[in-house]
Structure 1
Amino acid sequence: MRESAAERHERLLELVRERGSARVSDLASQLGVSPVTVRRDVEALAGQGRLDRVHGSVSWPERRTAGGPATAGSPAGGGPVLGLLAPSATYYFAEVIRGAHEAAALAGARLILRISDYRPEDDRARTEGLLTAGAEGLLIAPGWRGPGDAAEHGEWITELPVPAVLLERRAVPGSALDGLDRVASDHRHGVVLAVRHLVNLGHGAPVLVARADSPTALAVRSGYTEALGALGLRAPREVIDSVPADQQPEEFEAAVRALHSAVASGKATAALVHNDVDAIQMVQRLAELGVRVPQDLALIAYDDEVAALADTPLTAVAPPKHEVGSQAARLLVERLTGAKDADEPRRHLSLLPRLRVRASCGAVER
């Protein structure tokens, strides 16, 4: 299996951590990739504060205490080191990471990152790596995918020796994990915004087309049921299961055909599609089958990562990804620096998504 960029970054970081410093040319040889690739990786990692870069070499980040020698794992100025575990450094979580990094920097803290690549069984080991690298507090977005992953792969988080904030994830109510600080998007609210907007445009309840391979996808699905109940609507048909087109082309085509059938039969004139990439590809395929967006089908995407870049710009629900990362980092810094009383109750912060109206729903853009 081809190594992902995130996995290569982890290997690069381990090599630098073990040596203290290394030349780019040596890293390229050790990693089995070109110097151009390593320079690009180093630039990205240095931008995240995970490496220091000087004249063709890189070193493990160090911080100097006032008047004293450099010490590993601490930022300049004496602020704390925050560790962030994320399932990915691209698409949805790129903006979450950016928000956390910017908030940490403003607070005088340093953020270090580990990526689990949506393998929840690796979360604990990645987190231990953050602690070894000097993390004094943790922002944790586990690589959960299915509904049982929190119970199977989450209890270890409650045993961590440092303060932790659960990031863009919700625990099982009543579980030990539910007693931690957390910051997350309110996806139920995001779905309500989409459904209400389509209904206000004169459509009946939209059909939902969604994946089931991430906590966001599962939250959109449950939010859809709650939204229909709150608005007194009935689903035009059962949820259409979507999958990545590049990985499961036949199943993706089946989802497109199911949506086409719902439109052709008159059961649905509107759809909510999770996520942006699936929505863009579905619009393209529907056009080949004779269904036009928005003339025949009003469509709203969920995530708003690349929705605006579609041929017909897609109206989309935009979770507050940057703000989730920022608020979580600020909360963790307050816990670490004593700005919050130790006896203060833990916090569950739910941040509301916004609806960004574009051409695909047939409404005037705003």
Structure 2
Amino acid sequence: MRESAAERHDRLLGLVRERGSARVSDLASLLGVSPVTARRDVEELAGRGLLDRVHGSVSWPQDATPGAAGPGATGSGLVLGMLAPSSTYYFAEVIRGAHEAAARAGARLILRISDYRPQEDHARTEGLLSAGAEGLLVAPGWQDPGDPAAFGDWIASLPVPTVLLERRPTAGSPLDGLDRVCSDHAHGVLLAVRHLVELGHGAPLLMARADSPTAVAVRSGYAEALAALGLRAPQDVIDSVPAELAPDAFEEAVRALREAVLSGVATAALIHNDVDAIQVVQRLAELGVRVPEDLALIAYDDEVAALADTPLTAVAPPKREVGRHATELLVERLGQSTGAPRRHLTLLPQLRVRDSCGARLPQ
């Protein structure tokens, strides 16, 4: 099976962490990739603060090593392990927040990436434990609704304190008794729907994926938001798919949205996620539907929404804060006696208003 970029990044980080520093040319040879690929990987990881880069070499960040604690840190020397489904897009900021909090606590954070393959989560977590992790931050690579039951039971029996990240297990399940830190996506959707309604629109359409826990939470949050505001969905949710993976299905979804706008079914929409929203806006323009003139639009995630030709209003989950609070909770848990009450911490997203909603509709 071809190695993913996330897996290659994981190996690169491991090599630099083991050596302290390395030349980019040497990393290319060790990874079995071209120098261009190695430089691109290093630039991406350095841009996310996971590595330091100077004059053709790369080094492990000074604030990520044991004893290099920030102001107010205790210099604990703890080793924390983090399992994430990806090191890019949404989880890049979660990782950054965890990294920063670990450094402030004088702890070392080590990372493994599952690339959204939940069947590999257990093995990668065992790798973290073998590397010396004394506590774990775990964001399983679940995608399908059945994944928690099929690939989740092992998490509850881990031998070290564990905090779940951005995952809500089934109520009453063993995983529900673990510490966790999550974004309140239902609240984020409510902010978006309420904003559009206050601008004079009726209930917005939802175009959303169904391939991640965030996507599932956005869908359920949409139903809750409409109920809370006394609204009815103008039509069924439009299933979204990545344009590069399923171009025909993407085109069908865009045309369904276009038809809803032209027929007067809806004047506003919420789209999960940013990348899909940008591509939808581009394709709608080619089909004669303009944002925001013909359609007010809000994206969900706020990773790249501000970079669209028409900057997109977006719901921004507190990704960096999720990583930070989860790490602080884990460090605190490691310093407590067993039997201390577990905590479920929920953080509220924000709505960042830009140009894609337009002004209030005339009454």
What TM-score do the two structures reach when normalised by structure 1? 0.88
1:79 aligns with: 77
**What is the SS of the residue equivalent to 1:361?**
coil
- In structure 2, runs of 5+ residues without a counterpart are 68-72
**8 Å Cα contact 1:195/1:206 also seen in 2:** yes
**What is the SS of the residue equivalent to 1:255?**
helix
Q: 1:245 aligned to 2:212?
A: no
Q: 1:343 aligned to 2:339?
A: yes
1:33 aligns with: 33
2:273 aligns with: 275
Choose which of 216, 226, 249 in structure 2 pairs with 1:218. 216
2:322 aligns with: 324
1:69 aligns with: none
1:77 Cα shift? 3.5
**8 Å Cα contact 1:165/1:181 also seen in 2:** yes
2:256 aligns with: 258
What TM-score do the two structures reach when normalised by structure 2? 0.89
- In structure 1, runs of 5+ residues without a counterpart are 66-74
2:168 aligns with: 170
Aligned residues: 354
**8 Å Cα contact 1:286/1:292 also seen in 2:** yes
2:70 aligns with: none
What is the distance in 1 between the residues matched to 2:50 and 2:197?
46
**8 Å Cα contact 2:82/2:136 also seen in 1:** yes
Answer with 355-364 or 197-206: which moved more.
355-364
**What is the SS of the residue equivalent to 1:139?**
strand
What is the distance in 2 between the residues matched to 1:359 and 1:54?
40
1:107 Cα shift? 1.1
1:284 Cα shift? 0.8
State how 1:20-169 maps to structure 2 within 5 Å. 25-35=25-35, 37-38=37-38, 41=41, 77-169=75-167
**What is the SS of the residue equivalent to 1:125?**
helix
Choose which of 154, 170, 183 in structure 2 pairs with 1:185. 183
Change (3 A) 1:323 1:166: same
Change (3 A) 1:58 1:356: closer
What is the distance in 2 between the residues matched to 1:266 and 1:160?
53
**8 Å Cα contact 2:65/2:108 also seen in 1:** no
1:337 Cα shift? 2.2
Which whole-Å deviations, capped at 9, do the CAs of 1:153-182 have from their partners, x for residues lacking one? 111001111000000110000100000000
What is the distance in 2 between the residues matched to 1:35 and 1:168?
35
Answer with 78-87 or 154-163: which moved more.
78-87
1:20 Cα shift? 9.6
1:203 Cα shift? 0.7
1:6 aligns with: 6
Choose which of 333, 349, 359 in structure 1 pairs with 2:355. 359
What is the distance in 1 between the residues matched to 2:66 and 2:318?
35
Change (3 A) 1:64 1:350: closer
What is the distance in 1 between the residues matched to 2:113 and 2:192?
31
**What is the SS of the residue equivalent to 2:356?**
helix
What is the distance in 1 between the residues matched to 2:322 and 2:27?
34
1:19 Cα shift? 8.8
**What is the SS of the residue equivalent to 1:359?**
coil
What is the distance in 2 between the residues matched to 1:164 and 1:172?
17
1:302 Cα shift? 0.4
1:37 Cα shift? 3.9
Which whole-Å deviations, capped at 9, do the CAs of 1:6-26 have from their partners, x for residues lacking one? 222334456678999977555
1:282 Cα shift? 0.6
What is the distance in 2 between the residues matched to 1:76 and 1:2?
42
What is the distance in 2 between the residues matched to 1:114 and 1:155?
19
Change (3 A) 1:50 1:232: same
What is the distance in 1 between the residues matched to 2:21 and 2:301?
39
